[in-house]
Structure 1
Amino acid sequence: MVERRLIYALLLFVVCAVAFLTVNARGNWEFVLWFRGTKLLGISLVAIAIAVSTVLFQTLTKNRILTPSLMGFDALYALLQTALVFFLGGLGFAQLAPQVSFFTSFFFMMLASLALFGTLLGQSQQARGEDMHRLLLTGIIFGVLFRSVTSFFQRLIDPNDFVVAATSSMASFNSINGDLLLVSSVIMALGLIAAWYLRFDLDVLALGRDAAINLGINYKQRVYVTLVIIASLVSVSTALVGPVAFFGLLVSNLTYHLFPTHRHAILLPAASLLSACVLIGGQTILEQLLNFSTPLSVIVEFLGGVTFLLLILKGRSR
C-alpha cells in the first residue's frame, strides 16, 4: 500500500515539475526551459534537503515536533549574514561573489555542528539517553546566543545596511543562484547516499538507545554520522535560500500521515517527493496565478507554524 502511494507521489512530482516548466511559458522555449529548469533544480534540492534532514532528526530525537532549526542553524546563518554586512557594508556585501557567501555560511555552520556534536557526543556518558537531551538543550542555548549577537550587530549598522542584512537573512525561493547548484548537488548527493546507506540502521535507531545497542548497533557512531548528514543537508539548504524553520515539520508530519510505516526506505523518498511537490506546486501557483503577491516562504512558515500548534494541542489533549 505505501509502495503504491510512493508511486503516486512520484507522479505528482512529475506533474508539478512539468507545470512549473510549461505553464504560461512564452517566447524562446530553449531559454524558458533553461531558466525555469535551473530554478526547478534549486527548489528540488532545497526541498529534499529539508525533508530528509527533518525526518532523520526526528528519528534520532524520537519526537515529531522537533526540527533541526532547534540546533541554531537559522540563527547562525542570520548572524553570519549580518556580520558580513557589518564588516563589509551594504555595498561591499552586495558586490560579494555568491560563492563566497555560500561557502562562508556552509563552512561555519558545518564547523559549529561538528564542534557541538563532537564535544557532547564524544564524552562517555553513563546515564542513558542524556546525550541527545544535552545536545538539544545546548543547541537551543546557542541559538539564543546567536540571535542576541545578531541583534547587537543590527543595532550598530547603518539603517540602509540593516535592510540589506534583514533581507539576506530571510528565506527566498526566488533568488537561488544557478552557479551554486553544482557544488550543492554534489554535497547533497553525498549526504543522501550516506542516509540511504543507513536506512536500515535508522529503523533500529528509531526504537531507542537501549534497543539499538541490544540489536548490535554502534549507537554513538551511528548517531554522530547521522547528525553530520543532517548538518550538511541543513547547511546546504540554508546557504542556498536562507532559514526555513517550520517547513520540515509540515512535510515530515504529512509524510507520517500518508505513509504510516517505520521503514526509512519508504519515509525518506516519500518525504523528499512530498516536499518537492509542495514547494514546486506552491511556487507555480504564486508565479502564474498570484503574480508573486505573497512570498512562498511566508505561506510555508505559516502552514508549518499552524501544524506545530496543532501537534502541541493534540499532545496535550491525550
Structure 2
Amino acid sequence: MARPGIRPLPAGAAAGAATAPGPARPWGQLRPGVVALLAAALALCSLIWMFQGLGGGNRSFILWLRAVKLAGLITVGASVAVATVLFQTVSANRVLTPSIMGFDALYVLLQTLLVASAGVTGFAAIDPAAKFLAEVAVMVLLAGLLFGALLGRGARDIPRMILTGVILGVMFRSISGFIARILDPNSYAVVQSVSFASFGRIDATLLLPGAAIAAAAIAAALVLAPRLDVLALGRTAAVSLGLRFDRMVVMSLALVAVLVSVSTALVGPVAFFGLLVAGMAHGLASSDRHAVLLPTAGLIGALILVAGQTLFERALAQPATLSVVVEFLGGLFFLYLLLRGRIR
C-alpha cells in the first residue's frame, strides 16, 4: 500500500530504477558509435590537412612539414583535453582549468628565469630536447609541491582552493612580468614569443619526445580510469572504498603537470581551450566514467585544433587566428558555466 503523498511506481519501473542513466544530458546520450565517428572525423580532417592544395615541387618535404604540424596539433589537443578533465576530477569542479590554477603561469616563469639567467644567446644554444625534459621534470616537481598538499588536504574547501590557485597564478605572472621588464629588448622579445599560444608554430625537435611523454601520460590516465571514477566520488566515499585518496590526487596532478608542460612547450600557454573541450566531452559522453570521458575529450580536442587550423590556415589564410577564437569561445563557455551555477 502506497504511503500518502508518494505515487506508486509503474510496473517494471522498480527494476529499471537501478540502471537509470540519471538526468538527461543537454546533447542526449552517447550512442555506441560516437567515439568511432569522432575518430573518423579526425582522420578525415587529417587527410584534408595533409593533401589539400598539394601542388608541384618537393612534395615529400611539404608532406613532412604538414605531418609534423598535424602530429603537434593532435598531441596538443589531446593533452590539453585530458589534463583539464583530470584536473576537474581532482578539484571536483567543472569550471576550473590548470591555467586558472597557475600551471601555465609557472611554465612562463620558468622560461623567463631561463632567458634572464642564460641570455638570448645561451637560451638559443640550449639543446631543445634536453631543455624540454628538464622543464617537464621541474613542472612535475613544483606542481606536486604547490598543489599536491593543497588539493590533497583541502579538496573539501573548494573556495579556498580556487582562491589559493588564482593567487599563485597571479604571483607567477607578476614575477614573470617584473623580470621581463628589466630585460633588454632582445631578451624581452624572446620571453614574449613563449608567452602566447600559436597553433601554427610547432617545434619539430620537441615533437617526438613531447608526443611520447604525452602518450605515456594519457595511457597512464586511462589505466587509472577506474580509480579516477572513485576519486570523483569525493574524499569520504573514496576513502571508505579503499582508495588512497592523497596518493591518487598527487598522481593525477603529476599527469596534469606533464600534459600541460608538453602542450605549452609545443604551442605556448592556453587558458580556456581545455574548459571548452571538457564541457563538450561531458555533454557528449554517455556516462561520467573516465574510460569513456578521457578518449572522448582527447578526440574532441584534437578534432577542434586540426579542423580549425585547416579552416583558418588554408581557407582564410589566417594561421594565427585559431588561438584567439578558441580562447574567446572558451571564455564565453566559462561565463556560461558561472551563470548556470555549475561551480560545485
TM-score normalised by structure 2 residue count: 0.83
CA contact (8 A) 2:98 2:104 kept: no
* 1:1-318 → structure 2 map (5 Å cutoff): 1-27=30-56, 28-120=58-150, 129-130=156-157, 136-292=162-318, 294-315=320-341
Shift of 1:254: 1.0
| Partner Cα separation in structure 1 for residue 294 and residue 328 of structure 2 | 24
CA contact (8 A) 1:65 1:308 kept: yes
Most deviating of 70-79 and 277-286: 70-79
| Partner Cα separation in structure 1 for residue 245 and residue 119 of structure 2 | 46
| Change over 3 Å in CA distance of 1:118–1:246 after alignment to 2 | closer
Structure 1 moving runs of 4+ over 6 Å = none
TM-score normalised by structure 1 residue count: 0.90
Alignment gaps of 5+ in structure 1: none
CA contact (8 A) 2:109 2:176 kept: yes
Shift of 1:133: 6.2
Shift of 1:137: 4.1
What value does the CA root-mean-square deviation take over the aligned residues? 2.2
* Residues 100-123 of structure 1: per-residue CA shift (max 9 Å, x gap): 54234323212211222454467x
* Residues 254-278 of structure 1: per-residue CA shift (max 9 Å, x gap): 1111224111111111101110010
CA contact (8 A) 1:110 1:231 kept: yes
Which residue identity does 1:290 align to in structure 2?
L
Which structure shows the bigger proportion of residues in helix conformation?
1
Aligned length in residues: 312
Select the structure of larger CA radius of gyration.
Answer: 2
Query: Secondary structure of the residue that 2:33 maps to in structure 1?
Result: helix
Identity of aligned residues (%): 47
| Partner Cα separation in structure 1 for residue 88 and residue 315 of structure 2 | 35
Which residue identity does 1:55 align to in structure 2?
V
Shift of 1:49: 0.7
Shift of 1:292: 2.2
Query: Secondary structure of the residue that 1:68 maps to in structure 2?
Result: coil
